[in-house]
Structure 1
């Protein structure tokens, strides 16, 4: 694996946290996922590569539409959940693989899709060039990635609150991460450089569910990868005060159906000539 830092992270605490909270993340992204599936245009018999498949949600949904699916991810803990979820299902398998370098074969897949799994490549051009090679002529690409941090209330609001207690300056540093594909011109540059055409980069805004109530949402956020790393450098009493402030800040967004904040994503489509 050439994506060593990300492999270490997703096979460590970050991957274990996602695996443990797989259903929470699915509920969080529930209003975004259908847009991806509709854009992907999955047909019975399609061969599908799910990039950064995580705990297998989108792979299972694609298989439910009659596709034969290979889910690829760096994270062993998350793939263990995916395999457990898919037990007994035909037409679906999961490989631990670095999409930048893994040999998927040439002209194998009709579709490559991803739900927020493409932002963590150390070399995005290499990754998408490899994906293009694996697609059949006319094969499609469809994925979701996040727009700028400041357009994503579900990250910007907690960051501002925690920033009163801790140094948050490294959150948007260059390199792999949640917002690495935030700029549409960069997205198009990578896709075109990888040999894909007709790139569509469409704005998608949907609320995301962070928890059942303000306290559970604050706890979920503080232990997630972004804020865990920030708060790990703080004394225990500072963490407690930051968490209390975050809980208070989330109270106005609490509804009978949970805590909902706004999100902003790109829905990206392209095709291999």
Structure 2
């Protein structure tokens, strides 16, 4: 395992994994509006085997299992996989494995479809990981990914960063490092997947409201628990007040919602 992926494994088996286990439902609620187009693009059939990359707490694996012959969900986080197994008890055609998809020895040509909802952006060598995934796909097999568009296109993240920075200029993450926006550049996506051996590479832009919390207080606690490291000492009260005020403007009948933007990426393993 590379040094970068080893760092990712340590994080997802440490504080990051604990964080998302505790907030599993909130994350799924936030992504709910993307589920229908994501699975429509995957078009999973009853005879097909599915590989779910970065399956996290297992919701996407369970949804896939309702249509598929068999589903294997893989992730780095032991904690998240344990929750996935608990929530998937009684579903006979889904299983979970702790695995680094960049190097894991998948059986070759075993899967018809590989999917990943926000789980494919954290590898230090994306060409290597997608080459490995493609080898696990049958000829003509499909790859379907959901990834974020750039920070500038993502109202929720850009707004939260601006408020929490309290006037400071925050550097944007480097384009080629593992982070939530590492596959936000369409040109990079085409290069990475093309060099990994995929063809028929397509990106469709999606924009959906993202649920953040039931009310401003609930939403602000969630956001500061994620991005609190951005708040400088002594700015907590000012930042919290600004965050609550902005979230009050985004209160809807469904809760606090902000705009978000994602790419729905599809590609094929050549026949």
Both structures adopt the same fold (TM-score exceeding 0.5):
yes
Give deviations 1:52-102, integer Å, cap 9, x for gaps.
Answer: 000001000000113310001011111111011111210111111100000
Task: Answer yes or no: is the 8 Å Cα contact 2:114–2:137 preserved in 1.
Answer: yes
Q: Map residues 206-245 of structure 1 onto 2, 5 A cutoff.
A: 206-224=208-226, 227-231=227-231, 234-235=232-233, 237-245=234-242
C-alpha distance in 2, partners of 1:130/1:79? Answer: 21
CA distance change for structure 1 residues 158 and 66 in 2, over 3 Å: closer, same or farther?
Answer: same
Which of 173, 177, 180 is the aligned partner of 1:178? 180
Task: Answer yes or no: is the 8 Å Cα contact 2:114–2:142 preserved in 1.
Answer: yes
Give deviations 1:124-177, integer Å, cap 9, x for gaps.
Answer: 000000001100101000010000101000101111111116x56245234111
Which of 49, 58, 62 is the aligned partner of 1:47? 49
C-alpha distance in 2, partners of 1:37/1:87? Answer: 22
Gaps of 5+ in 2: none
Is residue 155 of structure 1 aligned with residue 157 of structure 2? yes
Match of 1:261, SS?
strand
Q: TM-score of the superposition, structure 2-length normalised?
A: 0.95
> Which position in structure 1 is the counterpart of 2:122?
120
> Which position in structure 2 is the counterpart of 1:136?
138
CA distance change for structure 1 residues 139 and 219 in 2, over 3 Å: closer, same or farther?
Answer: same
C-alpha distance in 2, partners of 1:263/1:117? Answer: 17
Is residue 146 of structure 1 aligned with residue 144 of structure 2? no
Task: Answer yes or no: is the 8 Å Cα contact 1:42–1:67 preserved in 2.
Answer: no
CA distance change for structure 1 residues 239 and 9 in 2, over 3 Å: closer, same or farther?
Answer: farther
C-alpha distance in 2, partners of 1:171/1:239? Answer: 22
CA distance change for structure 1 residues 15 and 240 in 2, over 3 Å: closer, same or farther?
Answer: farther
Q: TM-score of the superposition, structure 1-length normalised?
A: 0.94
Which of 86, 98, 121 is the aligned partner of 1:96? 98
C-alpha distance in 1, partners of 2:262/2:15? Answer: 25
How much does 1:215 deviate? 1.1
C-alpha distance in 2, partners of 1:244/1:77? Answer: 34
Gaps of 5+ in 1: none
C-alpha distance in 2, partners of 1:257/1:212? Answer: 7
> Which position in structure 1 is the counterpart of 2:109?
107
Match of 1:136, SS?
strand
Task: Answer yes or no: is the 8 Å Cα contact 1:168–1:230 preserved in 2.
Answer: no
Which of 206, 215, 230 is the aligned partner of 1:204? 206
C-alpha distance in 1, partners of 2:237/2:20? Answer: 23
> Which position in structure 1 is the counterpart of 2:269?
272
> Which position in structure 2 is the counterpart of 1:37?
39
> Which position in structure 1 is the counterpart of 2:75?
73
